[in-house]
Amino acid sequence: MTNSLSRRTFLAGATAAGVFAPALVQAQAQARLLVVGGGFGGASAANYARRAFPWLQVTLVEPQTSFVTCPYRNLVLSGQKAVGEITHSYDGLRARGVRVVHDYVTGIDAGARTVRLRGGETIAYDKMILSPGIAVRWGALEGYDEAAAQVMPHAWTPGDASQTLLLRRQLEAMPDGGVVGFAIPGNPFRCPPGPYERISMVASYLKRHKPRSKIVALDAKDAFSKQGLFQDAWNELYPGMIDWVPANKDGRVVRVDAKETVLESEFGQRHKFAVANVIPPQAAAAIVRDAGFADQSGWAPVNPVTFESRAAQHIHIIGDSNIPGPMPKSGYIANSTAKQAVASAAAALRGEAPPNPVYYNTCYSHVGDEYGISVVGVFRPNAEGTAIVEMPNSGGVSPRGALPEQRRLEALYADAWYQSITRDMFA
C-alpha cells in the first residue's frame, strides 16, 4: 500500500516537474493566448481559457472599461431595464488572472504573431482569439453616415449606451400620435430576431405612454425569425399599431434623409417619421477586414471545427465577425463557439487534435410585459469537417397559440438566460 502510493506520488511529481515531457511542460508554461474584444465571444473565451487551461497566460484587449450588452437593450428602450442593469465590469476576469488591457488593436502581423495597439504597445501571442463583433457599413444606405446616426440612431453596437439612450429620449419627446419608423436590413446581420423584439418593446412603451402612435417597419426581407410568433403577439398585444412592410411590398430602404427624418424605399416611396431607428447593413469589425481576414461578403471564413481563420494561422475568429454557416449571429453562439475555439487553441499548443464540438443556441425575445418566445438550434460540423450543419430534429420555436402562462414562463427563462450567460462571461 505504502509502495503503491509512493509510486503514484512519484509519477505525479515527475510529470509536473517535466521528467517525462520537458518540452511540452515548458511550452505550456509559456503559452500566450491573446483575446481581442471583450464582448460575448471574447469575454467568454478569456474566462474559459483561465478556468479550463490555467497554464495559459491570457491577455484581453478591449477599449471599453465596462461592457453594456446588446441583449436587453430593447428593454431599456421600453423602460423596463436601466443601463446599469446590463453593464458588466472586467474585474471578474482580472480576478481570474486575465491581464485586461483597455486599448484598441490597430494592426495584426499574423506572420510575426504580434498585434499593435493604439496606445503604442505591441503584444506577442502564440494563439489569438479574435472576437471584435460587427461594424456598421456606413453609406450602404445612401445618406446613412455617423452624422445621420445622431438623428436616426441605429443602437445596434455595444460600447457605451449613447445610441440606445438617444433613441429612448427621442421616443420620450415624440408626440402621442406620432409614427415610429424602422429600417431593417437583409441577411446576414447581428441577432436575426433583434429588430422584431425591438419593434415589440417600442410598441410596449407606446401602448403605455403614447397609445395613439403607430409603427411602420420597412424590411429588406420577405420573412423573418419567429415571424408567426411575433405577428401573433403583435395582433394580440398591440392590435392595429404595427405595420410590417416586407421587401415584396417595397419595404427595402435604400436611402435616408436625416434632415427630414425620411426613409426612402427601393421604388421611391418617401416615409416621414417622428422617430426613425435605422438598423443598417453590417460587416465584420474593421480590424478583421483591415487584416484581410474577411472575404468579399465582408465576413470572415473559418474552419468549422476550430474556428481558425481560413486566411491566417493561429488566429481563431469567433462571434459575429465570422461566417457561421446556418448558425445565427448571436451572443449565445459567440459564447458556445468561444469555448471550442479556446479548447482547439489549447489542444494545438499541446500537439493534440481539437475536441469534437457541438454548438448550442437559444434566442429569447421579449414581446411584451411578461411575454417571451424563443428559438433553439443545435449545430455541429459535418462528417467531413468542411461545414457547420444543424443537427436534425434538434431545435424549434415556441409553440403558437400557447397559454399566457407559457409566455410568462419564457420571459422568466429569458431573464435566467441573461443572468447565466453574463456570469459565464464575466464572473
Ligand X SMILES: Cc1cc2nc3c(=O)[nH]c(=O)nc-3n(C[C@H](O)[C@H](O)[C@H](O)COP(=O)(O)OP(=O)(O)OC[C@H]3O[C@@H](n4cnc5c(N)ncnc54)[C@H](O)[C@@H]3O)c2cc1C
Q: How far is the CB of 1 from ligand X (least distance, A)?
A: 52
Q: Does residue 364 interact with ligand X by CB under 6 A?
A: yes
R_g of the chain, CA atoms, integer Å: 23
**How many Cβ atoms are within 10 Å of 292's Cβ, its own excluded?**
13
Binding segment toward ligand X, per CB under 6 A, in 59-67, 211-219, 226-234, 379-387: 59-67
Q: Nearer to ligand X by C-beta: 36 or 342?
A: 36
Indicate which single residue of 159, 325, 355, 395 sits in contact with ligand X (rule: CB under 6 A): 159
Query: With contact defined as beta carbons under 8 Å apart, do 377 and 327 qualify?
Result: yes
Of 304, 331, 357, 372, the residue at the interface with ligand X (CB under 6 A) is 331
Question: Half-sphere exposure of residue 264, counting CA atoms within 13 Å on the CB side?
Answer: 13
98 HSE (CA, 13 A, CB side): 33
State the Cα–Cα distance between residues 104 and 82, nearest whole angstrom. Answer: 27
* Rounded distance between C-alpha atoms, residue 150 and residue 152, angstroms: 6
Q: Does 36 bind ligand X (CB under 6 A)?
A: yes
Least separation, in Å, of the C-beta of 261 and ligand X?
21
| Number of neighbouring beta carbons within 10 Å of residue 28 | 16
Minimum distance from residue 206 beta carbon to ligand X (Å): 18
192 binds ligand X (CB under 6 A): no
Q: Is 324 in the site for ligand X (CB under 6 A)?
A: no
Our finding on whether 287 is near ligand X (CB under 6 A) is: yes
* Residue 190 or 265 with smaller CB distance to ligand X: 190
Identity of the residue, 57 or 64, whose beta carbon is nearer to ligand X in the bound complex: 64
Secondary structure letter of residue 309 according to DSSP: B
Angle between helices 194-209 and 227-237 (to 10 degrees): 0
Q: Which is nearer to ligand X, 196 or 234 (CB)?
A: 196
Question: Grid coordinates standing for 165?
Answer: 439612450
CA-closest candidate to residue 228, choices 391, 396, 414, 406: 396
**Residues 86-125, interacting with ligand X (CB under 6 A):** 104-105
Which residues make up the interface to ligand X (CB under 6 A)? Answer: 36-42, 61-64, 67, 70-71, 73-74, 104-105, 131-133, 156, 158-159, 190-191, 194, 198, 285, 287, 319-321, 329-332, 334, 363-364
